[in-house]
């Protein structure tokens, strides 16, 4: 049975995509901790990051670094936090969160009903930063 993320990747469910290549995608989470909170997800369904091949994990980290740099530019946080929790959906995903303090990585602070216009604006800011950096993998 496909995961929630597989259904988003396939276009069966909506997603605010930022990046797409042959192995991975990045899109905004539907419950952001902070504006710009994105997920990097492999197209291949892998439940636990320990089960991913070294090549896949390296690729996910490479994409996370590029998308993270775009988040850094777009939102100017102190840092872009990276977390692999994997409890919510049984499909590997790297959380990229613009942070100013450690509590900015607290999932209890997630917004379950974010403003759609603010989400669209956040996605476009990140896409613009990716385009400016010359990345052709930017999703529209």
User: What pLDDT digit, counting tens, does each position of 84-117 carry?
Assistant: 988 889 999 999 999 999 999 999 999 999 999 9
Domain assignment present for 75: yes
**Can you give the pLDDT at residue 84?**
95
pLDDT(47) > 80? yes
Name the residues annotated as catalytic.
Answer: 93
75: CB partners within 8 A, 6+ apart: 34, 35, 36, 98, 122, 125
Note the pTM of the prediction, 2 decimals. 0.96
**Can you give the pLDDT at residue 87?**
87
% of the chain at pLDDT higher than 70: 100
Nearest to 102 by CA among 33, 5, 49: 33
Average pLDDT score over residue span 63-84: 98
pLDDT(119) > 90? yes
- Rounded distance, CA 76 to CA 53, Å? 33
Domain assignment present for 138: no
Range of the domain at 86: 4-132
**Can you give the pLDDT at residue 104?**
93
Are the beta carbons of 139 and 17 closer than 8 angstroms?
yes
Domain assignment present for 101: yes
125: CB partners within 8 A, 6+ apart: 36, 74, 75
Domain assignment present for 139: no
**Can you give the pLDDT at residue 139?**
77
Q: What is the count of structural domains for the chain?
A: 1
**Can you give the pLDDT at residue 86?**
85
Domain assignment present for 18: yes
Domain assignment present for 137: no
- Residue 90: give its domain's CATH number: 3.30.428.10
Are the beta carbons of 63 and 40 closer than 8 angstroms?
yes
Domain assignment present for 140: no
- Rounded distance, CA 97 to CA 79, Å? 8
């Amino acid at each position: 049975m496909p995961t929630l993320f597989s259904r988003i990747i396939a276009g069966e469910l909506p997603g605010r995509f930022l990046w797409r290549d042959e192995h991975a995608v990045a899109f905004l989470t539907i419950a952001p901790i902070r504006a710009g909170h994105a997920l990097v997800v492999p197209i291949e369904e892998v439940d636990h990051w320990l089960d991913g091949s070294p090549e896949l994990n390296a690729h996910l980290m490479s994409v996370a670094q590029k998308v993270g740099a775009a988040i850094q530019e777009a939102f100017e946080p102190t840092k872009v936090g990276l977390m692999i929790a994997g409890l919510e959906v049984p499909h590997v995903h790297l959380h990229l969160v613009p942070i100013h303090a450690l509590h900015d990585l607290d999932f209890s602070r997630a917004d379950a009903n974010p403003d759609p216009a603010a989400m669209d604006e956040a996605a476009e800011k990140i896409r613009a930063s990716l385009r400016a950096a010359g990345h052709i993998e930017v999703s529209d």
